[in-house]
Amino acid sequence: MAQKIILDPVTRIEGHLRIDTRVDNGQVIEAWSKGEMFRGFEALLKGRDPLDAPVITQRICGVCPVSHAIASCKAIEAANDLRVPANGHLLRTLVLAANYLQSHILHFYHLSALDFVQVEALLDYAGRDPVLLDLRHWAQGELNSNRVLPVAPFLPKLPGDYPGNREWNLGALGHYVEALDIRQEAHRMAALLGGKIPHTATLVPGGLTLLPEAALLEDFRTRLRRVKRFIENCYIPDLLLAARLFPAYAETGRGVERYLSYGAFDEAGGSWMPAGTVRHEGYAPLDLSLIREETHASFYRGNLQESPQAAAAPVPQPDKPGAYSWLKAPRYDGLSYEVGPLARLKVAAAAGHRPIAQALAAFLREAGLPEHKLASTLGRHAARALEALLIAERMERWLDQVDPAAPAIAPHNNRMTGTGVGLVEAPRGALGHWITLAAGRIGSYQCVVPSTWNFSPRGQGQDPGPVEAALQGTPVNPDFQGLEVARVVRSFDPCIACAVH
Ligand code: NFE
Ligand code: MG
């Protein structure tokens, strides 16, 4: 008999997400991804000074503010024909990359790994590692107290098949603590060039207001090396161990197998990771005119299929019949596409980027993950880990290329008119800001955000969004209360604060 599993709220994410599933015969038959909040950034930007846009849109999210700042700056630059100097691109790229490292490490250790870790392994820890001993004492104290929620954030948790492997359990818990420090280092790197973080102060249309001295760049490099060592010595080995321990998760979460990337990390000659789309027919270059946002199943007035450039801020209608999410449904050529680290690597490999394709193939061999299983729950975690390593390696080169004597910002022309689009790859995938400027004011503003793509509800043709599709076929044990569903969902790294904006 069909049954429902509902996760409400999905915890350890940013924003408010509910997942409904219909389960039959021990498998998810159908799923609904429900954004449970309304925000309205696009509406409040209308009529404001364009220079407010990077400041305000960064506040969409504290996890990926740099991406919103850059997308916003690029949209204004495109409208005004502002040419950012090479140094400005490089410095922005470094701030963005530092934010990626912070975000990917956050996602693995602090948001996702606990789905797979038996935290009770702490309680009989008898070794000498001071971090684990501290954690054990703290956990025991919490359990002996009469608090309603003991040992948060580790407990309470969904019941499930947590593994008995001590190396994994204790390693992940110890690295959970170490990763807090490492994320702080990555934040410091972003703040060195961004002025502050989250929500930078130096990223403005035209480039960067700060020209770093050599000593600041060396400070950045020292911190980068520490973060990189953590990725090499903890993140990558933990991921490889997870791949050995959880082979079943290479069999779940396949998804729509269509991927889109705007091209990541601006360098002098274009983006380092290429832009494009991948589907069964293979690689195709990007055609922005094919993007539409549909509102068929969204709590917004009308049944729209709008180009972001033409779209007005959506009008909320919480009682709309048939609607179930505050996210819109972005479609490319009428189809849903997955975005994020997996999509970026797939697009890069399919576009013929040999170094990335080779690194991906070698990593998959080491993880024992066949290429055709990369589209999976485990594959998304693997892609994110490998991407973190590749970015950390590439950052040294970008640092070398910064010229402290060259300009980092273009002079403003104060025209502030016209239309523009700013495209960026945020940690979670393809991010676009579309702006229309009229008489020095924002006429319209439209963000199409990574988690909007991935967590989109059904579109015009009742076709599921990428996460909804990825959940289909997931085997579930009724006693686990949806743990398997949570694992698939979190592999996409949801941010519903961004997705609804
Ligand atoms: Ni709020 Fe974000 C990233 C953006 S995701 S985290 O990465 O843009 O939708
Ligand atoms: Mg939008």
Rounded distance, CA 459 to CA 450, Å?
A: 16
**124 and 226 assigned to the same domain:** no
Q: Which amino acid is at 337?
A: Y
pLDDT band per the 50, 70, 90 thresholds, residue 382: very high
Instruction: List helix spans (H) across 160-260.
Output: 166-194, 214-230, 236-245
What are the structure tokens assigned to 301, written together? Answer: 């007035």
- Ligand closest to 450 (CA) is 1
Ligand 2: distance of its center to the CA of 42 in Å?
Answer: 7
Query: Using a 6 Å cutoff on CB, does residue 448 contact ligand 1?
Result: no
- 10 Å Cβ neighbour count for 11? 14
Which own/partner pairs from 152-158 qualify as long-range (CB within 8 Å, at least 24 positions apart)? Answer: 153/12, 153/110, 153/114, 154/114, 154/119, 154/122, 155/119, 157/114, 157/119, 158/480, 158/481, 158/482, 158/483, 158/486
Query: Using a 6 Å cutoff on CB, does residue 330 contact ligand 1?
Result: no
**225 and 287 assigned to the same domain:** yes
pTM tops 0.95: yes
Is 61 an active-site residue? yes
| Among candidate residues 106, 133, 161, the one where a domain is terminated | 161
pLDDT band per the 50, 70, 90 thresholds, residue 233: very high
Is pLDDT of 119 > 70? yes
What are the structure tokens assigned to 183, written together? Answer: 């994320």
- Per-residue pLDDT, averaged over 166-191, amounts to 97
Closest CA to 161 of 249, 29, 234, 237: 249
pLDDT band per the 50, 70, 90 thresholds, residue 314: confident
Is pLDDT of 328 > 70? yes
The model's pLDDT over 413-422, given as tens digits with 9 standing for 90+, comes to 777 789 999 9
Please tell me the predicted confidence (pLDDT) of residue 145.
82
Query: Using a 6 Å cutoff on CB, does residue 431 contact ligand 1?
Result: yes
- Ligand closest to 35 (CA) is 1
Report how far apart, in Å, the C-alpha atoms of 399 and of each of 395, 461, 493 are.
Answer: 6, 47, 28
The model's pLDDT over 270-290, given as tens digits with 9 standing for 90+, comes to 999 999 999 988 999 999 999
HSE-CB for 119 with a 13 A CA cutoff: 22
* Nearest CA residue ID for atom 6, ligand 1: 64
Structural domain total, the chain? 2
Rounded distance, CA 389 to CA 422, Å?
A: 26
The model's pLDDT over 35-66, given as tens digits with 9 standing for 90+, comes to 999 999 999 999 999 999 999 999 999 999 99
Please tell me the predicted confidence (pLDDT) of residue 110.
97
Ligand 1 atom with the smallest distance to the CA of 451 is: 9
**455 and 354 assigned to the same domain:** yes
Is pLDDT of 156 > 90? no
Please tell me the predicted confidence (pLDDT) of residue 228.
98
Q: Active site residue: 73, 234, 447, 498, which one?
A: 498
pLDDT band per the 50, 70, 90 thresholds, residue 317: very high
**369 and 473 assigned to the same domain:** yes
Query: What is the DSSP track for 169-192?
Result: HHHHHHHHHHHHHHHHHHHHHHHH
Is pLDDT of 390 > 80? yes
- Percent of the chain scored above 90 by pLDDT? 90
Residue 132, classed as helix, strand or coil, is: helix
**147 and 227 assigned to the same domain:** no
**155 and 171 assigned to the same domain:** no
Please tell me the predicted confidence (pLDDT) of residue 414.
72
Rounded distance, CA 101 to CA 341, Å?
A: 12
Report how far apart, in Å, the C-alpha atoms of 424 and of each of 53, 70, 71, 188, 287 are.
Answer: 15, 7, 6, 22, 15
What are the structure tokens assigned to 207, written together? Answer: 């480039």
Is 64 an active-site residue? yes
**399 and 336 assigned to the same domain:** yes
Please tell me the predicted confidence (pLDDT) of residue 310.
80
- The count of residues in the chain is 501
Is pLDDT of 313 > 80? no
CATH number for the domain harbouring residue 45: 1.10.645.10
**185 and 156 assigned to the same domain:** no
- Ligand closest to 422 (CA) is 1
- Classify residue 287 by burial, with Cβ atoms within 10 Å: 0-12, 13-18, 19+: exposed
Query: Using a 6 Å cutoff on CB, does residue 63 contact ligand 1?
Result: yes
Rounded distance, CA 447 to CA 424, Å?
A: 11
Query: Using a 6 Å cutoff on CB, does residue 329 contact ligand 1?
Result: no
Is pLDDT of 464 > 90? yes
Ligand 2: distance of its center to the CA of 452 in Å?
Answer: 8
What are the structure tokens assigned to 494, written together? Answer: 């949801």
- Per-residue pLDDT, averaged over 216-233, amounts to 98
**133 and 264 assigned to the same domain:** no
Query: Using a 6 Å cutoff on CB, does residue 64 contact ligand 1?
Result: yes
Residue 287, classed as helix, strand or coil, is: coil
Lowest mean pLDDT among 237-251, 300-314, 396-410: 300-314
Is 428 an active-site residue? yes
Please tell me the predicted confidence (pLDDT) of residue 150.
65
C-beta separation of 402 from 129 below 8 A: no
Q: Active site residue: 451, 456, 487, 490, which one?
A: 451
* Residue that the structure tokens 């996210």 belong to: 327
**369 and 465 assigned to the same domain:** yes
Rounded distance, CA 278 to CA 340, Å?
A: 13
Is pLDDT of 140 > 90? no
Is pLDDT of 151 > 80? no
**445 and 308 assigned to the same domain:** yes
Query: What is the DSSP track for 22-36?
Result: EEETTEEEEEEEEE-
Residue 60: domain span: 3-114+164-500
Query: What is the DSSP track for 321-372?
Result: TT--BSS-EEEETTB--B-SHHHHHHHHHHTT-HHHHHHHHHHHHHHT--GG
Please tell me the predicted confidence (pLDDT) of residue 446.
97
Phi, psi of 336 (to 5 degrees): -80, 145
The model's pLDDT over 66-78, given as tens digits with 9 standing for 90+, comes to 999 999 999 999 9
**138 and 77 assigned to the same domain:** no
| Among candidate residues 129, 161, 193, the one where a domain is terminated | 161
